A and B are shown apart, each in its own frame.
Chain A
Amino acid sequence: MPHGRRSGMENIMEKYCELKDGYLLVHVPRELDHHRAGGLRMEADLLIDAYQVRKVVFDFSGTEFMDSSGIGVIIGRSRNMGYCGGEVMARNLNERIRKIFMVSGLHKIVKTEGGMAGNTNRMEKNHAE
């Protein structure tokens, strides 16, 4: 194989996911729909299996669109992590992604940080009073 060329396998890998110390960081694409969900799921699961990952962090800082297919991907990983005592987190949710989390109820199953605080928490607090 010529120098600098990556094999097919390597091309599939390392597109969305990054192995960090102690967790798998998933850079959620700009648009996460059914079209993108399959590839992301496959890549994440390969790495989770190969490196026995016990914590997955979905980073939404570059994400503008997500529909219920994306919810499926996150719930699926969350369930798999649950079986092995691991956890799934989501971070850097913009207003739109936050709305998708709220409407789907995902915010109740997946811990969020950086972007889910502030107004939302206050609203929930007020609601409880």
Chain B
Amino acid sequence: MQSKNEMRMWFDARSVNEGFARVAVASFVAEMNPTLDEISDIKTAVSEAVTNAIIHGYERPEDKVLLSCVIEGDTVEIVVEDTGRGIPDIEKAMEPFYTTKPELERSGMGFSFMEAFMDDVQVSSAVGKGTSVRMRKKIGVQEG
């Protein structure tokens, strides 16, 4: 039987919530019996997506980041959304080491990390409307 479980939450675009978001997702997926490595992969990817929304999507900390998570069978899908600035050129934004904020010492590796640690990453964005990052990962494919 396919099990399904879903959650949604939103929170202020404050950096303190980056840790909260990844821990919340890690707790939610715990029922899938992921390995420690899989949990860490998911936490890293969530942290990258949420940090992007906070740094690049928004300017005001009162703006809200929306995070939703769906478990279907052995796959988890995580969506991180903002209604902020939007990305003019997604392909460019996803290039390794590309950053629009070098003054903040951003490494430009956010999307590379999401792609390295999740099975699939889809980004949709509209300038002035916001950005949505959809990530999927199958749990239980690693050995041990």
A: which residues have CB within 8 A of B?
31, 33-35, 37, 41, 65, 67-69, 71-73, 75-76, 96, 99-100, 103-104
Contacts and interface: CB of A to CB of B under 8 A. Distances in A.
Given A33-B51, A34-B15, A104 B43 contact: no
Closest 5 CB pairs of A and B: A35-B15, A72-B107, A68-B109, A76-B105, A71-B107
Contacts, number: 63
B109 A33 contact: no
Contact of B51 (A67, A71, A73, A100): A67
B43 A65 contact: yes
B18 A100 contact: no
A103 B116 contact: yes
B19 interface: yes
B94 interface: no
18 contacts: A34-B15, A35-B16, A37-B105, A41-B105, A65-B40, A65-B43, A65-B47, A67-B47, A68-B48, A68-B106, A68-B109, A68-B110, A73-B105, A100-B44, A103-B113, A104-B109, A104-B112, A104-B113
Given A65-B44, A103-B112, A104-B107, 20 more contacts: A33-B18, A34-B15, A34-B51, A41-B105, A65-B22, A65-B40, A67-B44, A67-B51, A67-B113, A68-B107, A68-B109, A71-B107, A73-B105, A75-B105, A76-B105, A96-B40, A103-B113, A103-B116, A104-B109, A104-B112
A35 B19 contact: yes
| Count class of interface residues, chain B | 20 to 34
Contact of A33 (B40, B47, B107): B47
B54 interface: yes
B55 interface: yes
A67 B117 CA distance: 11
A33 B50 CA distance: 11
A41 B112 CA distance: 23
A73 B104 CA distance: 9
